[in-house]
Amino acid sequence: MPYNLEEFKNLASRSGGFARTNLFRVIFSPENAARELNLLCTNVSAPGRQILTNERIIGMTNKRVAYGYAVPEVTMTFITLSDYYSRNFFEEWQSNIIDQTNYTAGYYKDFVKDIGIQGLRSGGNVANNLISGNFPAVFKFIDEFVELNPEDEIAYSSTLIDAYPTSLTEMTFSNEADGIVTFSVSFVYKDWSSKFSGYKTNFSNNVQNSLLKKGFDLYKDLKG
């Protein structure tokens, strides 16, 4: 490595630490579905893009000339609760694409939706406890911090434009006592856009990381 360790540590500190794989959020519509599906999503891949090229020979020079781009499918994995809501949501969505009763195709504008995929800032122990579901360790902080801006937590945001589910995997059942049913969904989309918000340095003791706001909303729901 051409630079020393202190320079590397300073860079990480100035940037707010390392991006963590378990700090993410997925945004669907409508809003009531978005909240549940976000909590049940265990894995998601942010979109990529490949520039398509053709070889072009000019004189003695061989160049690769760009002529377009391609975007890969995005796959998400969801856990299933006893009401199978998450599974039903995507089966109904696919039924709007191809009606399973009369086998007719729906109108494109009627079944496409934008989907958000957000990378969140590292928020220390509070954020990690919240993401991991360790709510008791978080609740003692929440009552003190209620005026938080939810946008403060987003470091990277991508939007799948006109997305819809093409592949819905099977669900596997077994005799395993503590097994949890999961399934995956693959989405195609017209294009995607992204936005970076940068790192804000005024997170004193991590209390302004608004993952706390998310926990506070859930705390109020649980308290009734």
Output the pLDDT for position 202.
Answer: 43
Q: Which residue has the higher pLDDT, 171 or 15?
A: 171
Q: How does pLDDT run across 157-216, given as a tens digit for each residue?
A: 999 999 999 999 999 999 888 889 999 999 999 999 998 875 444 443 444 445 555 555
Which residue from 87, 43, 99, 52 is spatially nearest to 181, judged by alpha carbons? Answer: 87
The answer to whether the CB of 165 falls within 8 A of the CB of 94 is: yes
Q: Categorize the per-residue pLDDT at 220 as very low, low, confident or very high, splitting at 50, 70 and 90.
A: low
Output the pLDDT for position 164.
Answer: 97
Q: What letter does residue 179 receive in the DSSP assignment?
A: -
The residue-averaged pLDDT of 75-101 equals 94
Which residue from 23, 25, 48, 53 is spatially nearest to 191, judged by alpha carbons? Answer: 48
Give me the residues paired with residue 41 across strands: 78
Q: How does pLDDT run across 100-148, given as a tens digit for each residue?
A: 889 999 999 999 999 999 988 775 444 555 555 555 554 544 444 433 4
The residue-averaged pLDDT of 16-24 equals 80
Question: 87: left (phi > 0), else alpha (psi -120 to 50), else beta?
Answer: alpha
The answer to whether the CB of 12 falls within 8 A of the CB of 122 is: no
Amino acid (1-letter code) at residue 137 = A
How much of the chain exceeds pLDDT 70, in percent? 73
Output the pLDDT for position 143.
Answer: 41
Q: Is the pTM of this model over 0.85?
A: no
Q: What letter does residue 36 receive in the DSSP assignment?
A: H
Average pLDDT value over all residues in the chain: 79
Q: Is the pLDDT of residue 98 over 90?
A: yes
Residue 192 CB-density burial (10 A; 0-12 exposed, 13-18 middle, 19+ buried): buried
Cα distances from 171 to residues 7, 42, 94, 179, 221, in angstroms, run 48, 15, 16, 12, 30
Q: Is the pLDDT of residue 49 over 60?
A: yes
Q: Is the pLDDT of residue 152 over 60?
A: no
Output the pLDDT for position 3.
Answer: 63
Amino acid (1-letter code) at residue 96 = N
The answer to whether the CB of 71 falls within 8 A of the CB of 47 is: yes
Q: Is the pLDDT of residue 76 over 70?
A: yes
Which residue from 16, 11, 8 is spatially nearest to 201, judged by alpha carbons? Answer: 16
CA angle 106, 109, 110 (to 5 degrees): 55
The residue-averaged pLDDT of 77-96 equals 94
Output the pLDDT for position 201.
Answer: 42
Output the pLDDT for position 6.
Answer: 75
